[in-house]
Amino acid sequence: MSITTRPIDSSHPRTSKVVRPAWEEPRAPLEAGARAIVLFVMAALIVVPLYIVVLTSFSSQATITAAGGMVIVPGELTFSAYEQILSGGVVTRAVMVSVGITAVGTLISLVVSVMAAYGLSRPGSFAHRPILFFLLITMFFGAGMIPSYLLVSNLGLINSYWSLILPSCISVFNIFLMRGFFMGIDQSILDSARIDGAGDWRILSKMVLPMSKSVITVIGLFYGVGYWNAFFNATLYINDSEKLPLQVILRSYVLQGVSVPGQVAVGSGEVATLAVQMAVVIIALVPVLIVYPFLQKHISSGVMIGAVKG
């Protein structure tokens, strides 16, 4: 199944010329051209806006003024927007908050999910089906925003970082995905370890985990990207502006036009507001870009296909 969905096939480097089966009629040049143009336009629609945002964030005040806003043609380049927002202040703190929540959250999510997936990977164990059923139901019926909010509020988690981690900590979907993978491991190996006296903790940590690196990486990345991108839960649960994560800050600066604090002193026009705004966008985007190649690598491995199919 990975024939078409493999992103970068390293086993056949550079030899991949166009291979047309013998029976297939050659493509009419017009049709092939149209096809190429359509795909090219689609890719450009994604790449060009990203390029413009990146370029503007690195542009000087003079370049931005000359362009009348967003910059398409590179002019004078400067790091000053980044220097300004990363030299302490609101954005720096928001980055720290987001990094912390993403790191701690992903760790907790992964540990809880791996344990649950392993604990559910042996059909016929005690209360196996009732537990599956208990978890599965939550995929069909969400309780709703208001009761969830009131619950978090009654637990005293408003303005606590835990409110950004615990309610969204596990995804039943991810647990089932992992469980499916664990069940695919050759049970006879695990059984022999069990006969030799290894307990479940040992089997999980010494045998199952090393065999499941790819699925754990992918699910970890998914959890991580989820925590990093989360925006709504913070608008719900966090009122203290000191504790707001980056996505919320991004919203208020770029979408709601709140001026970036620390900008006040820079009325001198050295750093363009627009460049600062775009720099915040880029900072919110870069971690995803960094992990993206790893995600890409595993999308082919069939893990994802199963995930999307459900």
Partner 1 sequence: MTVVDERRPTPGAPPADPAIQKNATERKRRKRRALFRRDRTLLLMVLPALVLTALFAYVPIVGNAIAFQDYSPYVGMFENPWVGFANFERVLADEAFWSAVRNTLTITAFQLVFFFPVPIMMAILLQGLLSPRIRSLFQSIVYLPHFLSWVIVISIFQQILGGAGLLNQFLRDNGIEAVNLMTQPDTFLILVTSQALWKDAGWGIIVFLAALSAIDPSLYEAAAMDGAGRRKRMWHITLPALRPIIILLLILRLGDSLTVGFEQLLLQRDAVGAGAAEVLDTFVYYSGIQNGDWSYAAAAGLIKGVISVLLVLGANKLAHLFGEAGVYQKS
Smallest CA-to-CA distance from 121 within 173, 181, 169 is with: 181
- The contacts found for 261-266 with CB under 8 angstroms, 24 or more apart, are 261/89, 261/90, 262/84, 262/85, 262/87, 262/88, 262/89, 262/90, 263/84, 266/84
Closer Cβ to partner 1, 142 or 210, answer by number: 142
The Cα 293–Cα 291 span in angstroms is: 6
Question: What is the smallest separation between the CB atom of 35 and partner 1, expressed in angstroms?
Answer: 6
Write the single-letter amino acid at 228: W
Question: What is the smallest separation between the CB atom of 126 and partner 1, expressed in angstroms?
Answer: 4
Question: What is the smallest separation between the CB atom of 118 and partner 1, expressed in angstroms?
Answer: 6
State both tokens at 221: 């990345």
Closer Cβ to partner 1, 72 or 96, answer by number: 72
Closer Cβ to partner 1, 79 or 201, answer by number: 201
Closer Cβ to partner 1, 24 or 265, answer by number: 24
Closer Cβ to partner 1, 84 or 277, answer by number: 277
Question: What is the smallest separation between the CB atom of 221 and partner 1, expressed in angstroms?
Answer: 9
Half-sphere exposure of 205 (CA within 13 A, CB side): 5
Question: What is the smallest separation between the CB atom of 74 and partner 1, expressed in angstroms?
Answer: 15
Closer Cβ to partner 1, 94 or 265, answer by number: 94
Question: What is the smallest separation between the CB atom of 186 and partner 1, expressed in angstroms?
Answer: 19
Question: What is the smallest separation between the CB atom of 247 and partner 1, expressed in angstroms?
Answer: 5
Question: What is the smallest separation between the CB atom of 270 and partner 1, expressed in angstroms?
Answer: 20
Question: What is the smallest separation between the CB atom of 129 and partner 1, expressed in angstroms?
Answer: 6
Closer Cβ to partner 1, 60 or 277, answer by number: 277
Closer Cβ to partner 1, 8 or 265, answer by number: 8
Closer Cβ to partner 1, 230 or 271, answer by number: 230
